[in-house]
Amino acid sequence: MKKILNSHEFVVFLILVIISIVIGLRNPLFFSASAIFDIIRGSIVYCIMALGVLMVLISGNVDISFVAIAAMASYSTHMLLLGLGYTGGIGLYLVIAIFFGLLVGLAMAFITTQFNLPIFYVSLGYQTLWYGFNLFFVGRAMNFDLPEGLVGYYSRFLVRVKDPVAGETGLHVSVIYLLVIAIFIWWLLKYTTFGRGLYAMGGNREVAIRAGFNVKSITYLMLALSGGLAAVAGVIQSAYSRFFNPVLFMGQDLDVIAAVVIGGAAITGGRGSVIGTILGVVLIQVLNRGLIFMGVSAEWQKMVVGLVLIIFVSIPAIAERRQGRLKYFPVSKEK
Amino acid sequence: MREELIRVEHVSKYFAGVKALDDVSFSINRGEIRGLVGENGSGKSTMIKIIAGVYEPDRGDIYINGKHYKRLTPIASIQEGIQVIYQDFSLFPNLTVAENIGINRVISKGGRVVNWKEVYESAKEGLSRVGTDISLDAITGKLPAADRQIIAIARALLEDARLIIMDEPTTALTQREIQYLFKTIKDLKKQGISILFVSHKLNEVKEISDSVLIFRDGKKVLDQEAEELDIKTMEYYMTGRRIDTSSIAYSEPEEAPPLLKVKNLNLNPYFSGISFELKPKEVLGITGLLGSGRTELALSLFGELPAESGEIWLEGKEIFIRRNQDAIKEGIAYVPEDRINEGLFLEQPISDNLIVTIADYLASKLGIISNQAKLKTAEEWVDRLEIKTPSVENPVSSLSGGNQQRVVLAKWLASNPKLLILNGPTVGVDVGSKTAIHELIRDLAKQGMGIILISDDIPELIQTCNRILLMRNGKIAEEFQREKVNEEELHRHLVAAKS
Amino acid sequence: MVKKILSTVLVFTLIAGFMFFGAQPKAVAQDLVFATVVKSVAFNWFLRMEEGILQFGEDYGVTTFMEGPSVADSAQQIAVIENLIPQGIDALINVPHGVKEQEPVQKKAMDAGIIVITHEASFVENAHYDLEAFDNKAYGEEMMRELATRMGEKGKYVQFVGSLTNASHNEWMDAALAYQQEHYPEMESIGRYESKDDQEVAYNTMKDLLKTYSDIRGVLGSAAGDVVGAGRAIEEMGLSDQIAVVGTSIPSYAGELLKTGAVDLAMTWDPATAGYAANVVAYKIIQGEEITEGMDLGVPGYESIKIIENENGVPVIYGSGWAKIDATNMDQYPF
């Protein structure tokens, strides 16, 4: 129990609750089912991408190309299916996009392992590469032509709530994807040698190699999965917003990484969890949107979000430092 | 009972034409504790890596359990029961004790799924073999070095180790922790496990080993029973010259007003009621066991753990130290224990590391540091401290341990401090460099600097200090004049603090 | 060693390759070369503008091309212009994302002897001429009249702008607000919100605004995606009938929503004719012709231009008229 209370995830959760209460006190509608469902809907896509980022961060790497992979996979899939006259639903979209995502992830793994380059360096070019690929080979225009099967996907809800004043909304079906993915990644991280290998690599790469972890194949699997997850996020986001965008998510790479870090992942590797990541994404979402609920105008919004972020990231750091000082010499050793 | 476990015959190894090992032969018996000593570059690590299967020997043969090998692979080596515990213990600092010990078994089985029950069980088994009760759920990186070492040993034992090679195992340990390690090693010996204890700390090697191997310049120069050896002989074989440890010249401290006066300094829970004086040109030793408060006291004087109450007087003026900058401004310099973690930017050039503390002084009015001034200052110090490097532009990580320590020293000396606090300055440094550093300390004192030397290396204290303070439970328990105490006596007093 | 060389070559190819994707001039100088730099080449709006630019090139025998970053960003847009200046272009038509930020680079271009025409930047300081499809004040007032009619001249409404620093958007909204305060006392603005030129942001903001101010009856959009994002939110909540949505947009963005009635009216000007007209102005200057009041630029909407000097002494050319697009006439505007 004490362990849970001391965990980073709990701190994030606590802050999330405090911020929510503050917003809710100003506007009780923040706690309405429709508001909660909308925040969940807004978080789903970023959670899915963030879980890919999480794996990469745990392994001690940083990748910023996932946004471009999401754009490439979703946009190319759409243009391909559109050309073929596809009229079905999201299923085939996901299958093809995931295939693209995996493939592109594997190619990246090939480059990093073959030439022994840090993933971050490769991802710098890789991001530009796939956005460029979209604009150059696939198309430059946002495409609003949805196949029949995809029309209406944006309001396919599991649970519907009808608010007498604020209209209708609901819990979007894509929350199921997130649940499945989150549980799968959690299982991977906790119960497979792949997952433990990620933590081991992030803890000490040399030692991981010495201990017999196959660092190469771990890197392949990690980047393939991260590419696949980005692809899923790209398709769902496009289906939500009813158009496919060749530069989807451009400029949002650092926001996603920031959310994962706020959720407790170490940018230096070896630390991070699925729960923390989801909390981190939701926290950012609540911060960004809560201000509207509080009636804060746009001019103020930017400043307040920035301030809250700075305050938030310093809390765990301060806690750690205090803890570190007390633990400077473990008196308990004396017995 | 003299059953042979491993025999190395006429092994040679070249790197780019340079001979790292030259026709080396030796053997290790079951249950034997073998000491292996040598200076940096003597071929110790090359030998370890050949036995571990990391390097392929260019010539020679290896026999393990009677089986002949031209070369070993890491896998073959492990299968033959050889386990190496490297200096960094090869642990994952971010993972739990249980996982660090148990994960290897999962991997070596080639499983893809982790059975946590099995991990915990094997971890428990491993720890029980070394007879300790470290918590399985503790995060490894937060444990003291001694515990981490035990964890590394436990992990090795789980692999059915028959020979455990320990590379500089005592570097990060305190006196008391070393004794605990020795006890563990002796237990292992009783279980029939052989140990290759690789170190440059001669007294420790002599204490623990059954027999000692000494390497110099890639050649085996001595192979003898430990009982028949004394430290002087070992030093002679190791360095190829006689090191006269007693000949360091002492400058008697002046009968001048004290340089530093500490009155009733307190910091809960680390130390309380600390009062002492330091004269100019004096070297004052402070020793004590882990938890005695010696390091915290030093950090207090340097402002990193500011004291809660008490007075500090420097050159007859009371000074107030709330943070490092205060201390630096007053002319107090601190050279930390863990040279790699605390003192240096390893990937930065030597020159940049050297000028960190005097950057303000070198900077022009505009705050720009001219490259020329930087290089000139850096080269001066490299010469003065005899740091062996082709260029001051090389990264610090390219230097050997001893030379890295000199860079740390130079870094602080460059700021020309009045008071220099050294914490374990020769930890992890070979004999040759050690002597040089001791000479340097005396030399600095002679120039008028006051020096506080924190160490639990008793010969070092006796050879270098004028006075030695012994701390116990956060208080100064005893004071010794150098002339009136010998190594054995001081050791007895130090260890007595245990009870 | 081979690996090292290979990896170096690879990295350089990646970097070099994708730098050129962005900024390579698409033609060698013949006689005249006119470059049009836009906020983002991935916006359908500017793809339509490109049609006009290329048409002008064909009609006048000038080499023309359009350039711009793939995402709307002043810094990147400045870099594009910086790269164009030494390439010997004769005229630069710039549609700045941020007017203030791009003044220096426009000055640099002028100093290099390049004719600089800006568009959507009526307060510009460093340009030979600025060209606007119409008077921003009049356009904002017209937008307000259309909204007021649809709201029955009473109730709360919200304003969206692409960014709080976008000159034109804020001019429209300022004019709209002033006009409302003067003529429709029963209407009330609840404030101005940033969409960051992102439909998803407009969507989320609209949803949250509806919860906070359940009595919103109108939306004014500035960026082409504003009414699309807001309209989507309103449609999904089943409030299309109760809320009037009026703003700048084009059929390829808002088409679906115009049909369903979620967006009531899209107001716009044809970016193709604006692009064409701006190039004509540059051409005439280079030919030594004087630009005069009432001149015909030879393209619909600019048959009789008005010229008013702005406060910085730069003459601003105004075309006449804007297009109002709703479900009935959207087929006439194929962009």
C19 to chain A: nearest residue by CA? A128
- Is pLDDT at A329 greater than 50 in this prediction? no
Is CATH 3.40.50.300 the right assignment for the domain spanning B4-246? yes
Burial class (CB in 10 A: 0-12, 13-18, 19+), A263: buried
* Confidence category of residue B433, pLDDT binned at 50, 70, 90: low
Mean pLDDT lowest among A234-248, B352-366, C92-106, C195-209: B352-366
Among C194, C204, C237, beta carbon nearest to A168: C237
- Provide the pLDDT for residue B423: 86
The shares of helix, strand and coil residues in chain A, as percent rounded to the nearest 5, are 75, 5, 20
What residues does each domain of chain A span?
2-316
Q: Chain A neighbours among B 99-128 (CB < 8 Å)?
A: 99, 103-104, 106-108, 111-114, 116
Interface contact flag, C14 A126, Cβ < 8 Å: yes
pTM (2 decimals)? 0.72
Q: How far is CA C229 from CA B161, C218, C327, in A?
A: 66, 14, 18
- Is pLDDT at B373 greater than 80 in this prediction? no
- The answer to whether C and B touch (≥3 CB pairs < 8 Å) is no
Q: Chain C neighbours among A 279-298 (CB < 8 Å)?
A: 288-289, 292-293, 295, 297-298
- Chain A interface, Cβ < 8 Å to B: 3, 190-196, 199-200, 202-204, 207-208, 210-213, 266, 269-271, 325, 327-331, 333-334
Q: Kindly state the percentage of chain A with pLDDT values over 70.
A: 87
A59 to chain B: nearest residue by CA? B94
Residue-wise pLDDT tens digits, B75-125: 888 888 999 988 778 889 999 999 999 887 777 777 788 889 989 998 998
CA C48 to chain centre: 11
B142 to chain A: nearest residue by CA? A327
Burial class (CB in 10 A: 0-12, 13-18, 19+), B106: buried
Contacting residues of A for C227, CB less than 8 Å apart:
none
* Confidence category of residue C6, pLDDT binned at 50, 70, 90: low
Interface contact flag, A298 C18, Cβ < 8 Å: no
Q: How far is A57 from chain C (nearest CA, A)?
A: 22
Q: How far is A169 from chain C (nearest CA, A)?
A: 6
**Can you tell me which residue has the tokens 């709330």?**
B322
- Is pLDDT at B369 greater than 90 in this prediction? no
Q: How far is A142 from chain C (nearest CA, A)?
A: 6
Q: How far is A209 from chain C (nearest CA, A)?
A: 21
Residue-wise pLDDT tens digits, A129-163: 999 999 888 988 888 889 999 988 888 888 888 87
Interface contact flag, A38 C6, Cβ < 8 Å: no
A211 vs B497: which has the higher pLDDT: A211
Distance (Å, rounded) from C-alpha B499 to C-alpha B183?
A: 18
Among A190, A207, A334, beta carbon nearest to B92: A207
- Provide the pLDDT for residue C26: 40
* Confidence category of residue B253, pLDDT binned at 50, 70, 90: low
A137's CB contacts (< 8 A; 6+ apart) are: none
Mean pLDDT across chain C, nearest whole number?
A: 87
* Confidence category of residue C123, pLDDT binned at 50, 70, 90: confident
Interface contact flag, A329 B95, Cβ < 8 Å: no
Residue-wise pLDDT tens digits, A169-196: 889 999 999 999 999 999 999 999 999 9
- Is pLDDT at B460 greater than 60 in this prediction? yes
Element (H, E) at B84: strand B82-85
Pairing between β-strand B475-481 and β-strand B467-472 as defined by DSSP bridges: antiparallel
Q: How far is CA B259 from CA A152, A187, B488, in A?
A: 83, 63, 31
Contacting residues of C for A129, CB less than 8 Å apart:
14, 17-18
Highest mean pLDDT among A43-47, A302-306, B19-23: A43-47
Interface contact flag, C41 A131, Cβ < 8 Å: no
C264 vs B39: which has the higher pLDDT: C264
Contacting residues of A for C208, CB less than 8 Å apart:
35, 38, 289, 292-293
Mean pLDDT lowest among A7-21, A276-290, B236-250, C17-31: C17-31
Interface contact flag, C164 A299, Cβ < 8 Å: yes
**Do the Cβ atoms of A181 and A39 come closer than 8 Å?**
no
- Provide the pLDDT for residue B337: 67
Contacting residues of A for B305, CB less than 8 Å apart:
325, 328
B438 vs A223: which has the higher pLDDT: A223
Residue-wise pLDDT tens digits, B299-328: 889 888 888 888 999 888 888 888 888 888
- Provide the pLDDT for residue A313: 66
**Interface mutation vs chain A, best among C198, C200, C239, most A CBs within 10 Å:** C200
Alpha helices in A115-214 (DSSP H): 119-133, 175-191, 193-203, 205-211
**Interface mutation vs chain A, best among B78, B85, B95, B454, most A CBs within 10 Å:** B95
Among A35, A125, A135, beta carbon nearest to C70: A135
> Quick one: CATH architecture of A2-316?
Orthogonal Bundle (1.10)
- Is pLDDT at C244 greater than 70 in this prediction? yes
* Confidence category of residue A332, pLDDT binned at 50, 70, 90: very low
**Do the Cβ atoms of A221 and A213 come closer than 8 Å?**
no
- Is pLDDT at C22 greater than 50 in this prediction? no
CATH number belonging to domain B249-496: 3.40.50.300
**Interface mutation vs chain B, best among A207, A273, A321, A323, most B CBs within 10 Å:** A207
Bond prior to B269 in cis (omega within 30° of 0): yes
Q: Chain A neighbours among B 266-325 (CB < 8 Å)?
A: 269-270, 290-291, 295-296, 305
Which amino acid is it at B297?
A: L
Q: How far is C291 from chain A (nearest CA, A)?
A: 35
Residue-wise pLDDT tens digits, C203-219: 999 998 988 888 999 99
- Is pLDDT at B218 greater than 70 in this prediction? yes
- Is pLDDT at A334 greater than 50 in this prediction? no
- Provide the pLDDT for residue A49: 97
Interface contact flag, A210 B91, Cβ < 8 Å: no
**Do the Cβ atoms of C159 and C193 come closer than 8 Å?**
yes
C132's CB contacts (< 8 A; 6+ apart) are: C119, C120, C122, C168, C316, C317, C318, C319
- Is pLDDT at B278 greater than 70 in this prediction? yes
Q: How far is C20 from chain A (nearest CA, A)?
A: 10
- Is pLDDT at A330 greater than 50 in this prediction? no
Residue-wise pLDDT tens digits, C277-295: 999 999 999 998 989 998 9
Mean pLDDT of C146-150: 94
Mean pLDDT of C51-67: 93
- Provide the pLDDT for residue C111: 93
Beta bridge partners of C119: C131
Q: Looking at the complex, does the CB of residue B93 fall below 8 Å from at least one CB of chain A?
A: yes
Mean pLDDT of C11-19: 53
Distance (Å, rounded) from C-alpha C186 to C-alpha C151?
A: 10
Q: Looking at the complex, does the CB of residue B152 fall below 8 Å from at least one CB of chain A?
A: no
Residue-wise pLDDT tens digits, A84-135: 999 999 999 999 999 999 999 999 999 999 998 999 999 999 999 999 999 8
Among B107, B142, B290, beta carbon nearest to A211: B107
Distance (Å, rounded) from C-alpha B131 to C-alpha B127?
A: 6
- Is pLDDT at B370 greater than 90 in this prediction? no
- Provide the pLDDT for residue C75: 86
- Is pLDDT at A74 greater than 70 in this prediction? yes
Among A132, A154, A250, beta carbon nearest to C18: A132
**Interface mutation vs chain A, best among B97, B107, B268, B499, most A CBs within 10 Å:** B107
Q: Looking at the complex, does the CB of residue A135 fall below 8 Å from at least one CB of chain C?
A: yes
Q: Kindly state the percentage of chain B with pLDDT values over 90.
A: 19
Mean pLDDT lowest among B263-272, C8-17, C151-160: C8-17
Residues spanned by CATH 3.40.50.300 within chain B? 4-246, 249-496
* Confidence category of residue C3, pLDDT binned at 50, 70, 90: low
Alpha helices in C34-126 (DSSP H): 44-60, 74-84, 103-111
- Provide the pLDDT for residue B1: 47
Q: How far is C272 from chain A (nearest CA, A)?
A: 15
Pairing between β-strand B18-29 and β-strand B4-15 as defined by DSSP bridges: antiparallel
